[in-house]
Amino acid sequence: MRLVFAGTPDAAVPSLRVLTASAHDVAAVVTRTDAPLGRKRVLTPSSVAQAATDLGLSVVKTDRLDDAATAEIARLAPDLGVIVAYGGLVREPLLSTPRHGWINLHFSLLPAWRGAAPVQRALVAGDSVIGAGVFQLVAALDAGDVFDEIRYRVPPLATADRVLADLAEQGAELLHRVVDQIAAGTARAVPQSGEPTYAPKLTAEDGRLDWTRPADEILARWRGTTPEPGAFTTLEGARVKVIELHRADAESALAPGRLALDGSAIRVGTGTDPLLLARVQPAGKSAMAAGDWYRGIRSAEPVVGS
């Protein structure tokens, strides 16, 4: 079939590569416009834009799938539109422009975690099994019938970047299989079943760790917000990014937020058992061993979250 692919971040690149290497023809790649990155705010192509250029594919850069983008896509007469984390809505008449409409690879087991941040929200919620599914795109948010899905057991202490990278690779093969089935006329989609949950985009404040909460809940929030938007705590009002967090080997009584030096790391009290803070990044400084940061704290009895 003749495909139009829409995607933007790293997680969409494996799908683009798999489809480009398949028997299908990727007529064009739609992605968001170059964004300013880094301290110098250098305009940088999206991961998908860079991959498409490397593959010699035609690229359409747009932040909105408006009338102009719709006309450009319609001119290509695609059989199928494929979307993986593009970051924008597909509305009519574009929704019906390809002969088979659009399909979407989404990183959750629908109807769980519809929305922009399914992996991150699932980890914050403490889900141990998540997955990915390919569904028919409809006007309502992530509500279309599902063609196929895979299940994924989350590795212990895996953070959002690791989980998303795994799902991106496995999901690319799933997507390829569904595209082949649509081409062959054998694809069958079934309606979603169950109560939906939603996964809005994370904000910076979602990364705040509340040490009065149970240790498992704090770890889940750290996993879901690492590396983006970044888990953090505060000490005397100054923000400290939490780069690496573990369960503590030995239990000891510590009040929530209270710190105790443990070699190159720090034990920190929670609402239940202490956790081990291994690496941190104080505001305006590079990441460092938490023990080194602790030794520079002037307070005799430091408490994070203060």
CATH 3.40.50.10490 fits 204-295, yes or no: no
CB 88 within 8 A of CB 148: no
148-164 pLDDT per residue, tens: 999 999 998 899 999 99
Tens place of pLDDT per residue across the chain (306 aa): 999 999 999 999 999 999 999 999 999 999 999 988 877 788 899 999 999 999 999 999 999 999 999 999 999 999 999 999 999 999 999 999 999 999 999 999 999 999 999 999 999 999 999 999 999 999 999 999 999 999 999 998 899 999 999 999 999 999 999 999 999 999 999 999 999 999 999 999 999 999 999 999 999 999 999 999 999 999 988 999 999 999 987 667 799 999 998 888 999 999 999 999 999 999 889 999 999 999 888 777 888 986
CB atoms within 10 A of CB 26: 21
2-184, superfamily in CATH? Answer: Formyl transferase, N-terminal domain (3.40.50.170)
What SS3 state is found at 219? helix
In the chain, which residues fall in CATH 3.40.50.170? 2-184
Q: What is the pTM of this model?
A: 0.94
- Indicate the pairing of strand 275-282 with strand 288-289: antiparallel
Distance between CA atoms of 306 and 298, rounded to whole angstroms? 14
Distance between CA atoms of 107 and 110, rounded to whole angstroms? 9
In the chain, which residues fall in CATH 3.10.25.10? 204-295
Q: What's the N-to-C CA distance of the chain in angstroms?
A: 58
Q: What angle do CA 254, 255, 259 make, to 5 degrees?
A: 65
Distance between CA atoms of 243 and 126, rounded to whole angstroms? 19
